[in-house]
Amino acid sequence: MISKPVSGWGRYPSIESSVHAPATRTAVARLLQSVQAPLIARGMGRSYGDASLAARSVLMTRLDHFIAFDSAAGTLECSAGVTLADILAVVVPRGWFLPVLPGTGYVTLGGAIAADVHGKNHHHDGSFSQFVDEISVMLADGSVLRCSRDSHADLFHASAGGMGLTGIILAARLRLRAVSSSHIDQRLLATPDLDTTLALLEQHEGSTYVVAWLDVNQGGARRGRGIVMLGEHARDGELAPDTRRALSVPLDMPAGLLGRPLTRAFNALYHARGARNTASHRVHYARYFFPLDALGDWNRLYGRRGFLQHQCVLPPDSARVALRELLQCVTASGLVSPLAVLKGFGAGNDNLLSFPRSGLTLTMDFARSDAALALCARLDAIVVAHGGRLYLAKDAAMSTATFRHGYPQWQRFQEIRERYGALGRFASLQSQRLGL
Ligand SMILES: Cc1cc2nc3c(=O)[nH]c(=O)nc-3n(C[C@H](O)[C@H](O)[C@H](O)COP(=O)(O)OP(=O)(O)OC[C@H]3O[C@@H](n4cnc5c(N)ncnc54)[C@H](O)[C@@H]3O)c2cc1C
């Protein structure tokens, strides 16, 4: 165990934590039996805010074993500390793929299940846990329950999306998707304004992968201009794993680096490049799904104070109006978001705290400052007023009231935690802030 400052990917907040790094299940059980103080599991620390932060944390990255891979059936069982990038490196050359991928491969299997992550194909395929058939969860007393939709279903639906608050996920069995190429055929469609962006997102719902990069820093007629990105698995070609070597941001950049002039210039260039590059082209899966992984430690670009990511989902009925209000609120604040993404979600699932539900999801980044925190509070109020909710894996600041509005099943979640002895034993800075 070592004591050190830890933070999420947004580097805000930061906390001094006693970090235990067990290498075996027995060591995790021994830890839970000997330490009665609250603790929280931690994977790659790629959640942005305080979901994996606590005075005592259990780093799961040493439990990184492949347990069973049936390459005929496409099923895989792994320990929770294996990363999605490592899974892909093993399964892609054998013609299999992970059916749901977030925007980085550097997340653990446990973290992907605990946040029930979504990808660019949520409108067709739902979120990560929908391909997970069984998880092994270690409870506070060190015992292990294998849970699925048929066995201890309450624990399954509380743990998938449950942000580590029910117990420690040790391993999972999941279904893979067959592919005949490691490449994606991508098409880019540049749009001049929000209405066109929304129309194209809707028009291309039939594509397997659909997402829009959005320039949220423009007001007036250009508000909501963007690039809609479509993707399909290529049908032929090689089955090659990712061999990129990431360059790293070596130092914390000056806080103002991603300020208004540079962000606006970058967004203008990006939009113009997208407008020129509309023909379909083939890219490796790593470049398509994980463009930011090419630059290690890119969170340092925001400087020491870190940044906030705000991701909400807005129900279909009010999504358009709410979206306009959110964008107006950002431009009125004078703050800029260097990166923003908009996409449509399909129906949600039965997990109590899973984020996705049908509607539109908007993600924006803001360099951390008092003004950015105040802006996020105003954005939260718009989201609540329109019946939306915020993503727990990105959150560092929402209030208990905002959480309860967005996640009406929170009381049932608490009952299940109580039933399995998790209350008071698994807790994070985030759970305390949200009244869990
Ligand atoms: C560049 C980037 C792009 C991203 N894009 C997306 C995206 O497109 N879609 C999306 O859904 N998310 C996205 N994310 C968020 C990321 O997928 C989630 O935050 C994910 O949970 C991170 O996994 P992790 O292993 O780093 O977990 P951590 O950040 O360490 O922990 C996240 C949560 O999982 C819990 N947890 C971790 N391991 C376990 C375990 N073994 N047992 C129980 N609980 C556990 C923690 O307690 C915590 O509550 C992105 C993040 C980054 C940095």
What average pLDDT values come out for the chain (436 residues) when binned by 10 residues? 94 96 97 95 98 98 97 97 97 97 97 98 98 98 98 98 98 98 96 96 96 91 93 94 79 69 69 71 94 87 91 97 96 92 97 98 96 98 98 98 98 98 97 98
Task: Give the other-Cβ count within 10 Å of 16's Cβ.
Answer: 11
Would you state the pLDDT for residue 339? 86
Distance 387 CA to ligand 1 centre (A): 25
Would you state the pLDDT for residue 256? 65
Interatomic CA distance for residues 77 and 300, integer angstroms: 34
- Residues 159/116, Cβ–Cβ less than 8 Å: no
Q: Which residues contact 96 (CB under 8 A, 6 or more apart)?
A: 71, 74, 76, 176, 177, 178, 179
Q: Which residues contact 199 (CB under 8 A, 6 or more apart)?
A: none
Pocket of ligand 1 (CB under 6 A): 8-9, 40-47, 51-52, 60, 80, 102-104, 107-108, 110-112, 114-115, 117-119, 163-164, 168-169, 292, 393, 428
Mutate to test the pocket of ligand 1, among 46, 106, 125, 361 (most ligand atoms within 8 A of CB): 46
Would you state the pLDDT for residue 140? 97
Render the burial of 45-70: b for 16+ CB within 10 Å, e for the rest. bbbbbbbbbbebbbbbbebbeeeebe
Distance 110 CA to ligand 1 centre (A): 8
Residue labelled with tokens 């090659």: 240
Beta strands in 253-352 (DSSP E): 281-284, 295-296, 307-314, 340-345
Alpha carbon nearest to ligand 1 atom 53, residue: 46
Mutate to test the pocket of ligand 1, among 20, 25, 52, 290 (most ligand atoms within 8 A of CB): 52
Alpha carbon nearest to ligand 1 atom 5, residue: 103
Residue 228: name the closest of 199, 249, 206, 256 by CA: 199
**Angle, nearest 10°, between helix axes 319-333 and 370-385?**
160
Would you state the pLDDT for residue 415? 98
Alpha carbon nearest to ligand 1 atom 18, residue: 47
Distance 169 CA to ligand 1 centre (A): 13
Burial class (CB in 10 A: 0-12, 13-18, 19+), 358: middle
Please give the structure tokens belonging to residue 14: 């930061």
Beta strands in 22-72 (DSSP E): 40-42, 56-59, 66-70
- Residues 344/123, Cβ–Cβ less than 8 Å: yes
Cα separations in angstroms, 319 against 198, 349, 358, 402, 403: 10, 20, 10, 18, 19
Would you state the pLDDT for residue 296? 86
> With the C-alpha atoms ordered 406, 227, 288, 295, is the resulting torsion angle positive or negative?
negative
Distance 112 CA to ligand 1 centre (A): 5
Relative to the CA of 80, which ligand 1 atom is closest?
41
- Residues 18/11, Cβ–Cβ less than 8 Å: no
Relative to the CA of 299, which ligand 1 atom is closest?
53
Interatomic CA distance for residues 95 and 71, integer angstroms: 8
**Would the pTM count as exceeding 0.85?**
yes
